[in-house]
Amino acid sequence: MSDKLKVGILGGTGMVGQRFISLLENHPWFEVTTIAASERSAGKRYEDAIGSRWKMTTPMPEKVKDIVVMNVNEVEKVASQVDFVFSAVDMSKDEIKAIEEAYAKTETPVVSNNSAHRWTPDVPMVVPEVNPQHMEVIKYQKERLGTKRGFVAVKPNCSIQSYAPALTAWMEYEPYEVVATTYQAISGAGKTFKDWPEMVENIIPYIGGEEEKSEKEPLRLWGEIKDGVIVPAQSPVITCQCIRVPVLNGHTAAVFVKFRKNPTKEQLIEKLVNFKGAPQELGLPSAPKQFIRYMEEDDRPQVRLDVDYENG
């Protein structure tokens, strides 16, 4: 029997669930042993439940093909099979909040890709290199939920993971105004070009709800824990425009920053290349060794060339 932690994927038949399964293949610490999805997929072999809907560019891992999909709503049954779960369920926000807390109350930690709990005051929204200290709020969340081990933690909106770390590296120069334009891949909408042929040779200049997330979520990353909740920072002021572009995977951002102090270009570059977080210091297996990569070429980064750098 493997001594790896047993992992469940909630919403494992969707695109994000498939991404979790793909990324966790051959992980040294974690093994996907349970996949849960809607009642429609429950009872089927994972390979049969997916059919022709496998959306990753890499093949489906052999180890998951024969896993029998469970009903995600059978919380106790699913939770009894695993050490913790990754959540990628496709439901309404209220339904996601309820089911993720239900899993947490079975003493199962929930690490969620969904947005539903990003503004729950005692739920940490974490980029590990940016705000690992926010995990301290979990003890207050456990008091609310009445759990000893179970909790919910979430990741932020995918587009801010490009520029929020850079701004974090520059915080000592006191950025106070940020204007960002994001060029977001169709994978962010859970699509491929096969699903969304209208995006071929097309640009959509507005993505509903995305600008608000991109402007406010970084402030929560930089917030502080006070009285058992996370209180967002008040600055910098961020203005975003979010554009959907005909790219399969990999978001890009063009960011203009004003600083109260006046760093040189060399100082800014030095802060980027030397920026490390807890995952790098701990040598975590899924973490990039060089968290922020500075590229000297004028025409880089490019999505086609750079999206899979250190596994993306």
The answer on 168 and 150 residing in a single domain is no
Cα three-residue angle 184-89-140, rounded to 5 degrees: 100
Q: d(Cα 266, Cα 126) in Å, to the nearest integer?
A: 29
Tally Cβ neighbours within 10 Å of residue 263. Answer: 17
The answer on 169 and 124 residing in a single domain is no
Number of domains composing the chain: 2
Report pLDDT for 55: 94
CATH code at 78?
Answer: 3.40.50.720
The answer on 274 and 245 residing in a single domain is yes
| pTM higher than the cut 0.75 | yes
Report pLDDT for 1: 47
Q: Which of 154, 183, 204 is the last residue of a domain?
A: 154
Q: Token pair 């891949």 is at which residue?
A: 185
The answer on 145 and 254 residing in a single domain is no
The answer on 271 and 210 residing in a single domain is yes
Q: Which of 135, 154, 173 is the last residue of a domain?
A: 154
For 230, phi then psi, to 5°, come to: -95, 120
The answer on 181 and 97 residing in a single domain is no
Exposure string (b/e) for 130-161, b if CB count within 10 Å is 16 or more?
bbeebeebbebbbeebebeebbbbbbbbbbbb
Report pLDDT for 311: 78
Q: What residue numbers bound the domain in which 243 lies? A: 160-311
Best CA proximity match to 289, nearest among 277, 300, 297: 277
Active site residues: 158, 251
User: Tens digit of pLDDT for each residue in 62-102?
Assistant: 999 999 999 999 999 999 999 999 999 999 999 999 999 99
The answer on 221 and 197 residing in a single domain is yes
The answer on 181 and 299 residing in a single domain is yes
**Which stretches of the chain drop beneath a pLDDT of 50?**
1
